[in-house]
Amino acid sequence: IGANEFVILLADLASNEAVNHIVRRAVESLEGPMSIDDERLYINANIGISLYPHDAPSSEAVIKNAGVARAQAKRQGKRLNIAYYSDEANEASSKRVRIETLLHQALRYEQFAVHYQPKVRLETGRYSGMEALLRWRSPELGNVSPAEFIPIAEEIGLMPEISSWVLTEICRQLKQWAPLGMEDFRVAVNLSPVELRDPEIAERFLATLEQQDVSPALLEVEITETAVIDNMSTAVKSLQTLQDAGVSLAIDDFGTGYSSLSHLTSLPLHVLKIDGCFVRDLDVSPNNQGIVNAIIAMARTAGLSVVAEGVESEAELNWLCQSGCDEIQGFFISKPVSAATVTAQLIENIEQAHPM
């Protein structure tokens, strides 16, 4: 649109975040030197980004605001500069870039920890297992939620390394718990959609268990329905391999995806976890009661054990006790806590568990 000014128009974006990805590719393509007539030339560029309809109500305004953002980018004074028109988008994108950069060092500097949240069997009051939840404490950013950093770790290809660290850490912990002699006790680990797309995932998972000398029967894998549907044939193969080896399989956050009975019966599953959003105010919400009753009926039809996630109050627990639900998990029992804290809770539970 000018002597050295270009517009890239991105239509039909799946999300505003998709812009970051495309901008990064544009910057990468400008990073290296260009060879022209045996000369190595470096290109300077300033990129300004404006989103319709968020930043501007019309196409003219989008182009004008992108120009404003470009001028702002230029003030950063580097060779390649990027700025969004809006402050929030600027902040979000620079936080993302910071997370990306810092994640690369997090494993090496031992900034990760695995926390554990117990699950309780209602019939006995005993801990039936734990869910392992990854924690990242960054000296620069503070505690970053896994919901925020795991998708980024996936995108930049760090997830295999991080997951293998998580699993090794869980194995170490399971060996420490072994002398306590719990029966039918499992630690559940989450697998992300990107991990499920990896055809070797089951083999690598089982290889780690073998290296650590831990029985697959002590582990459960949590996956979401959407993750499986995204790549049905690869996922089913991996899940089957894990099940054949004795790993138990749970469908996580159930009710938030397709909630299909046919998926429940055709996938090799053992456990269904009802998403916490349906557990909220169960004692007084007829809507949620209806949904939870329906999900429990589906789980029974498919022969699955039922865990209610996100139980926060005694009233929710009491309602679940008469619903046919098998296990509960949530802040009412315990928040996810460090291995040391959960071990003390586990010992206390072994000594004085009583039916709920």
Residue closer to ligand C2E by CB (options 82, 279) is: 279
Tell me which residue has tokens 């582990």: 219
Least distance in Å: CB of 12 to ligand C2E?
28
Positions 137 through 166 that interact with ligand C2E (CB under 6 A): 145-147, 150, 166
Peptide bond into 53 cis (omega under 30): yes
Distances (CA, A) of 92 to 50, 84, 97, 99: 14, 10, 9, 10
Work out which of 228, 243, 310, 356 binds ligand C2E, going by CB under 6 A.
310
Q: Can residue 312 be called a binding residue for ligand C2E (CB under 6 A)?
A: yes
246: which 2 tokens?
A: 């004795």
Q: How far is the CB of 131 from Mg ion (least distance, A)?
A: 6
The answer to whether residue 252 forms part of the interface with Mg ion (CB under 5 A) is yes
Distances from the Cα of 295 to the Cαs of 128, 276, 279, 306, 324, in angstroms?
A: 21, 13, 12, 9, 11
117 binds, among Mg ion, ligand C2E, none (CB under 5 to 8 A by kind): ligand C2E
Question: Least distance (Å) from ligand C2E to the CB of residue 336?
Answer: 5
Size of site (CB under 6 A) for ligand C2E = 21
As measured in angstroms, the least distance from the Cβ of 252 to Mg ion is 4
Under the binding rule (CB under 6 A), the answer on residue 338 touching ligand C2E is no
Q: Which is closer to Mg ion, CB of 69 or CB of 271?
A: 271
Which 190-229 positions form the footprint of Mg ion (CB under 5 A)?
Answer: 190, 222
CA dihedral 243, 257, 18, 149 (to 10 degrees): -60
Asked if 222 interacts with ligand C2E (CB under 6 A), we say yes
CA–CA dist 262, 42 (Å, integer): 56
Residues 66-95 that bind Mg ion (CB under 5 A): none
Q: Tell me: does residue 225 bind ligand C2E (CB under 6 A).
A: no
Q: Does 169 bind Mg ion (CB under 5 A)?
A: no
Nearer to ligand C2E, 69 or 130 (CB): 130
DSSP code per residue over 88-116 = HHHHHHHHHHHHHHHHHHHTTTT-EEEEE
Amino acid identity, residue 57? P
Q: Report the alpha-carbon distance of residue 314 to residue 281 in Å, rounded.
A: 10
- Sorted by sequence, the CB contacts under 8 Å of residue 34 that are 6+ apart come out as 40, 41, 42, 43
If we measure between CA atoms, which residue out of 45, 43, 51, 60 comes closest to residue 20?
Answer: 51
Stretch that binds Mg ion, among 32-40, 121-129, 209-217, 249-257 (CB under 5 A): 249-257
Q: Provide the token pair at 182.
A: 């719990």
Which CB atom, from 225 or from 253, has the smaller least distance to Mg ion? 253
φ/ψ of 78, rounded to 5, equals -95, -175
d(CA 106, CA 143): 12
DSSP 337: B
Query: Footprint of ligand C2E on residues 79-118 (CB under 6 A)?
Result: 117
Q: Which residues bind ligand C2E (CB under 6 A)?
A: 117, 133-134, 145-147, 150, 166, 190-192, 222, 252-253, 276, 310-312, 330-331, 336
Residues of this chain that bind Mg ion (CB under 5 A): 190, 222, 252-253, 309
